[in-house]
Structure 1
């Protein structure tokens, strides 16, 4: 038999399979990837730099859905808001990947390039260098927490007669549908308002 025209393994297939596993179960293993692709575990390692390398491929794949044009918008706060919304949508599509990606160091070149652009946006807007990373990290905390919230049940508080919570019941009834979106919009507006005060203080 001749060799198949399409290689059994390549980085794209490995990444796609790893992401499928993460979407299903929140994690992956190299043997699981190999089994799904009908290959030997050792063969997978010929294409990637171990498990850490696959994690970075996953990071690049998920982050590739973030619209890069958002950081070109003006003024800076409009750009940051657009980036945050695109960032949230990208990770909301793969919520089970969030714990995996957010607990490992960022090495993926294309992701680092995006951080470089975000930092440049804020420095060009006259933010103090000491404020830049705390602001970006705070934004990420909001974005990723909200992306997880989008995957949660609409009803997150189960009220029982054994624990009287009439005020909580009233507040839950008042919030209505779209709790996750309303909460994200509130948090993003508050963060941007605070960011504006930081910039004013430095001016």
Structure 2
């Protein structure tokens, strides 16, 4: 019999399987990946650079859904570019919320992901931001985006006062809250971040 036309194991299949495990359980292990793929654990290691390598493959896979075009659109104000990019960024991670704790606590090394951060840094520097202010703005944007992506996966009711008389103001506010809570909260936080960044630029 000849060699199979399609490899039984490659980075794409490993990444897909790892992401399935993360979406289901919030984490992965190389033995679990191997078991799902029906191969030996050592075979997986032949294709990836250990667990850290798989984490970066996961980061690249999730970030493939982020549209970097706004960061490179000629003539687009930096505020608008960051806002549109942030919405795309949020949507990409909202599709895989259980990956956020895993990816947010590991150093970013994936070249294709670093390329987007490079574009964001270039955008801010070209807009006139001081180099010392660039990373605080980008990290702040990360915090808003990833926190909001987790919020989209949260239960509809996050606050459940047992006794409304003990928390009358909170109860009133909760009763007035509409179904668009995650989107409204995200836009509020994003608008505030952009406004503060603009103040840094003008200082």
Both proteins in one fold, TM over 0.5: yes
Residue 96 of structure 1 aligns to a residue whose secondary structure is helix
* 1:167 paired residue number: 169
Q: Which runs of 5+ in 1 are unaligned?
A: none
TM-score computed with the length of structure 2 as normaliser:
0.96
Q: Which runs of 5+ in 2 are unaligned?
A: none
Residue 34 of structure 2 aligns to a residue whose secondary structure is helix
* 2:137 paired residue number: 135
Q: Distance in 2 between matches of 1:163 and 1:89?
A: 38
* CA spacing shift, 1:172–1:162, aligned 2, 3 Å: closer
Range with bigger deviation, 171-180 or 22-31: 171-180
Superposition deviation, residue 2 in structure 1: 3.6
Superposition deviation, residue 92 in structure 1: 0.4
Superposition deviation, residue 187 in structure 1: 0.5
Q: Output one character per residue of 1:114-149: Cα deviation in whole Å (capped at 9) or x when no partner.
A: 111000000000000000000000110010000000
Matched, 1:78 2:80: yes
Superposition deviation, residue 166 in structure 1: 1.1
Determine which of 128, 131, 134 is the counterpart of 1:126: 128
RMSD between aligned residues:
1.1
Residue 111 of structure 1 aligns to a residue whose secondary structure is helix
TM-score computed with the length of structure 1 as normaliser:
0.96
* 2:65 paired residue number: 65
Superposition deviation, residue 3 in structure 1: 3.0
Q: Distance in 2 between matches of 1:3 and 1:181?
A: 51
Q: Distance in 2 between matches of 1:5 and 1:133?
A: 46
Q: Distance in 2 between matches of 1:193 and 1:200?
A: 11
The number of aligned residues is: 201
Q: Distance in 2 between matches of 1:112 and 1:162?
A: 48
CA contact (8 A) 2:71 2:123 kept: yes
